[in-house]
Structure 1
């Protein structure tokens, strides 16, 4: 089975380089990488043009669109259509995978199942060390017990999700991993199952809810279940200031409730347009 990983980005080439460095050294290297840019910055275009030689074991495609506000869902639908392979993994451009991230997604893949993972939200100081190359994500995540005190002092959020137990570990079956929703920065599914719900709902024009929570209940409504890959397919979220506020969540939740009440599992404004 071949997979495409779709990375949602906006201008931040430094974080993207950390991600591509990780993907180039994975235990299972993805067959295709789609950089899904919600914008069209010259810096990103120049970076991608130059980086293909640096990471020559990666098949990199760069998609972009006019920068006229938050349109992440449109960009992601375009990436789904453009993807060449049957299994799709989604991450955000500020999240760096553990060394066996791809392996833990593809080796647990099943049709009619969405794998939903979590993320560790690093603090400001450790993020600075990673960006300045004083510390690598690989070193941090492979020896996280040595950095426990430092991570706590740096106000790391969701620190429990740095615990890593591979899908093939004898401990894996004994770890309780319930999942009720998708986090947009770490999930995967077969492309045909994503098409079953018509992809992302482009009615959402603000961040939060629309690119993750909305997906989960629509998948389940059409018989595609969520399965946790927590503690298996891990990644770290690099620190940055929050980019959205609670008012945006209120607007999105109103859209979500309207569709939920109408049992609108196949969205009207997705990959196929019914509006």
Structure 2
């Protein structure tokens, strides 16, 4: 297979269902789904059972006990279960446009990782989107979203279908080409070379920290913010902690100052 899609989730079955509908209608089918589950209830298995026959390859469900926010650890476990040499990282609240996987495959390049973004939806619209809206791609249509009451701004340009405009905006945007956990991809060998995700980190920048170590190891990043399109469903963030955020910033500052490539508490101890 060409690619493994790693989707993180935690007790958000309604959102995960919509996300999997999005992956079930991709223009390419040569990929597998790996669910990185940070301690959800058995309801997630019920959702996965509904989609078991909708993909070319079996869905892989990687679960760990709920002991608090341990996203880095479950991502490392999921990486070890993948069967492709190219990995796409996203979240269980990001519905992909039908060309999402194809765009990542088109732009992948040795010595680099791909940096994408998302278009955020409000809660009322997040709940209103139906399976049919995803299958028909309504939720990626600016005019349809406007009819549903969404107040549009320049950010809606991220939903463009014009590949030339997308290429121009990817070149023009001042947004940094960071490793974004909701929409990024890289070769498995590259992320293993930096020892995966840092399990010392809690919520807040843990994905960007990986990208910073990839930079330290000689990789560059390519901007696909306007080409690899996904819409982000709204949700609360009850796991935020200022103490944890400050700790993460300190780790990133240390890594930058000392040009750290491999952290100690990463994927290798799981192998």
TM-score when normalising by structure 1: 0.87
Distance 1:21 1:215 in 2: 29
Is the contact between residue 6 and residue 89 of structure 1 (CA under 8 Å) also seen in structure 2? yes
- Superposition pairs of residues 1-275 of structure 1, within 5 angstroms: 2-53=2-53, 55-130=54-129, 135-136=133-134, 138-148=136-146, 150=148, 152-153=150-151, 158-165=155-162, 169-175=163-169, 176-178=171-173, 179-204=176-201, 206-210=202-206, 212-245=207-240, 247=242, 248-273=244-269
Distance 2:233 2:127 in 1: 9
SS at 2:184 equivalent: strand
Distance 1:256 1:229 in 2: 24
Distance 2:104 2:74 in 1: 22
Is the contact between residue 177 and residue 228 of structure 1 (CA under 8 Å) also seen in structure 2? no
Is the contact between residue 121 and residue 157 of structure 1 (CA under 8 Å) also seen in structure 2? no
Deviation at 1:241, TM superposition (A): 2.1
SS at 1:52 equivalent: coil
Change (3 A) 1:192 1:158: same
SS at 1:203 equivalent: coil
Q: What do you get for the CA RMSD once the two structures are aligned?
A: 2.5
Distance 1:151 1:194 in 2: 41
Is the contact between residue 202 and residue 270 of structure 1 (CA under 8 Å) also seen in structure 2? yes
Deviation at 1:173, TM superposition (A): 4.3
Distance 1:157 1:70 in 2: 34
Distance 2:56 2:32 in 1: 10
Is the contact between residue 142 and residue 156 of structure 2 (CA under 8 Å) also seen in structure 1? no
SS at 2:114 equivalent: strand
SS at 2:251 equivalent: helix
Residues 92-111 of structure 1: CA distance to partner in whole angstroms, max 9, x if unpaired? 01110011000000111111
Distance 1:133 1:61 in 2: 22
Distance 1:163 1:172 in 2: 7
Could you tell which deviates more after superposition, 255-264 or 81-90?
A: 255-264
Could you tell which deviates more after superposition, 135-144 or 234-243?
A: 135-144
Deviation at 1:37, TM superposition (A): 0.2
TM-score when normalising by structure 2: 0.88
Change (3 A) 1:72 1:56: same
SS at 1:45 equivalent: helix
Deviation at 1:127, TM superposition (A): 1.1
Residues 13-61 of structure 1: CA distance to partner in whole angstroms, max 9, x if unpaired? 11111111111110112421101101142211333244314x2545211
Distance 1:25 1:69 in 2: 33
SS at 2:48 equivalent: helix
SS at 1:6 equivalent: strand
SS at 2:18 equivalent: helix
